[in-house]
Structure 1
Amino acid sequence: MSAQAWLSQGTLVLASNNKGKIAEFEKLFAELQLPVDVVPQGQLNIEDAVEDGLSFVENAIIKARHAAKISGKPAIADDSGICVPILGGAPGIYSARYAGEHGNDTANNEKLLSKLKPLRKENEVIDGMFVCVLALVQHAEDPLPQIFQGIWKGEILEVPRGENGFGYDPLFWLPELQLSSAEMNKEEKNKISHRGQAMQLFKASLEK
């Protein structure tokens, strides 16, 4: 069955209970004008899956299969985070729980800053990148999940800037724009972000 055919059947479950992600996805889905109702898994009383993969791809697939199995509907899942090469790619898949408590943005940001402080050198930037992997499954045992990946490159600030967004947005600096991710509005961010890139690839796959 083509993506267009099964999407036209009605409902796509969004395998996330993260309010920040859900808000961004709802905005992105509205902008894409897809012929489908996107339902966050929380509305179906689906709890978060156990993310025991070792990569963004593995965890995205785990979450999508989990939501599809319980709902009986096609599901799309996002696994995303920030990777800092000088830290060997950390926080990576552990971004949301880097400091121990899942979703504590302030603690996670503080831990990242403390890890980077001894590594900073005068007049040298520290590179970082936001990564988003979307996994789309037609059913829980779909043997061919569709994968869409977006990578957003920037630098890691020494102090937070901005009040918008969530997660590590206040530490993610875009030198070409002279803004942090948390200083951008949703429309600006969605055009170029890791999640926006992955969603554009998803949209393109529906148009084939």
Structure 2
Amino acid sequence: MTSQPDFLRHARTTLATMAALGAALLAGCGDHAAPIDTAADQQPATKLSPADQIARGRYLARAADCAACHTSAQGAPFAGGVELASPFGTFYGTNITPDKDHGIGKWSADDFYKALHDGVAPDKHLYPAMPYTSYRGLSRGDTDAMYAYLMQLKPVAVANRPHDLSFPYNMRVTLPGWNLLFLKDQLPDASTGQTPPWQRGRYLSNA
């Protein structure tokens, strides 16, 4: 059994390691922090017809390159399985088709927004390998459009592959602490500007 001093030392080491990980993820992104907000021309989903909302969601899913992490080379679209190697182990892209057992078929639009905005799925905290620290800047209208697009795809019954992470990164219990330290309502900007094209570019680049 681990003694209390050993446990405390281990906890401090874990938090320090997670802090270093977060710093590494955020490094090199510029040093001008600005609040996350939406571009001036972002249209709320409530003003779109169902067909237009799905079309917008398709556009946003392509702009975000969701397939890169959620579609394997030989797999069905958005059925997961992509290997994402990192110094901390291997992550595997998840199934985001509307399959009710293995995908997001049981998720509500609120669940989808919370996953992208807070990194919290209905059953667990997500690792920041899924870049919710950036997706946090997406407007609710845009996340609803992406949800509408994904939910009209063909469900694919492919089970998610567990992440293969080394200790202590395999401990999801540390993720709320990581979020407390590093999940912010702002992202560094690489340039400055106020024009509508700059605002739109900032939104697409950051979020």
Give the structure-2-normalised TM-score: 0.27
Higher relative contact order (CA 8 A, sep 6+): 2
Give the number of the structure whose alpha-carbon radius of gyration is greater: 2
The structure where strand makes up a greater share of residues is 1
Give the structure-1-normalised TM-score: 0.27
